[in-house]
Amino acid sequence: MTHNAPSPVLPELTVNHVEFYVADAREQADRLCGQYGFTTVAASGTPDGPGDHFSIALRQGGITLVVTEARSERHPAHAYVEAHGDGVADIALRTRDARAAFDRAVAAGAGPLSPPHRPRDSRAGVTAAIDGIGGIRHTFVQAPDEDTFLLPGFPDLGAAAEDTGTALLDIDHFAVCLGAGRLDAAVAFYGTALGLGLVFEEKINVGSQAMRSQVVQNASGTVTLTLIEPDPTADRGQIDAFLDSHRGDGVQHIAFRTDDVVRTVATLAGRGVEFLTTPGSYYDLLGERLTPDGHSIEELRRLNVLADEDHGGQLFQIFTHSVHPRRTFFLEIIERLGASTFGSSNIKALYEAVEAERAKAGALS
């Protein structure tokens, strides 16, 4: 079900960067550069020297990722990795007024993690941070002007990211898994705290399993969260498995947007990225419900890319195979040709593909 667009509250919010807490920053940076075409643009701390952390900043297109490992038990990455393994710790948001964003969020019930201040390395910027749903941190980043990119903790960013041919443009959305009964409160929180309105919702039934999904988004469409909870009255499935393995709520996947899914997926596969497979019967029936625009059914079949359409146009999407030791994080590649929804017709196929991977890995309880 599609809802009206959210009210224009804090429309200037965009994703500034995403920070992962990891056990080995260099290993993760090497994988993201080698397989996904990111470029290392800066580092903070040293892997073996003094200090409580080591961080590496990576960029590609409009995507900035930071991978941080703890060098001391005092750093929050230590406790995070102990509890959850590697994962998304901070979805940082750029705003024209960090203080106003912070005050609004705290008034809405967000836990204040860091009040608005000017860090020594901020180049005249302002940052603040709140505790979001499921312990996900949201750092507000206010740059000194619209043309300056500010990455807290990295005073000296290197040259612009190289064009490696993978054509990942920006972050389309985040998918967050929540414990049963927590979805409505999460939607309400993000509405009042960040001005993200409910734009889409549905209940997905696959065999004896079921889950609810609601999508919240800001007015300009630059910040989108897909929030998912399992149906406790149905059989346990992949959302329950995530919550058990991750030990709580958390980001299940990030969707990177491209303008040519066939080119991007073929390039990533050539660089060693493994994707989930889709039953051949999916493509046998695909032509009965849509005619793909810009890609042939045979191209989609060859690469296991899924297709769907809504009133606005079409979308193409595929999930990567999880390389996380707990199988609690993976990536999505998505191309939108006018579509604004999230591939409802593909959800069953995607769900079944993930279930097949879980069964193959012996992860079913």
Residues within the annotated binding site? 173, 253, 332
Q: How far is CA 131 from the centre of its chain?
A: 17
| Pairing verdict, β 53-60 and 313-319 | unpaired
Coil, strand or helix: which one is 323? coil
Give the pair of three-digit tokens for residue 258: 């491209």
Radius of gyration (Cα) for the chain, nearest Å?
20
Strands 306-310 and 250-257: unpaired
Beta strand pairing call for 170-177 and 224-230: parallel
Q: Cβ distance 342 to 215 under 8 Å? A: yes
Contacts 24+ apart (CB under 8 A), 24-30: 24/69, 25/54, 25/55, 25/56, 25/67, 25/68, 25/69, 26/54, 26/56, 28/67, 28/86, 29/56, 29/58, 29/67
With contact defined as beta carbons under 8 Å apart, do 256 and 333 qualify?
A: yes
Rounded to 10 degrees, what is the CA torsion of 46, 48, 50, 56?
A: 20
Cα distance between the two ends of the chain:
32
**Residue written as tokens 């039934």?**
205
Backbone torsions φ then ψ of 170, nearest 5 degrees: -165, -175
Q: Which amino acid is present at 39?
A: T
Sequence ranges of the binding site for Fe cation: 173, 253, 332
Neighbour tally for 321: CB within 10 Å: 16
Q: Which residues contact 15 (CB under 8 A, 6 or more apart)?
A: 91, 92, 93, 94, 170, 171, 222, 223
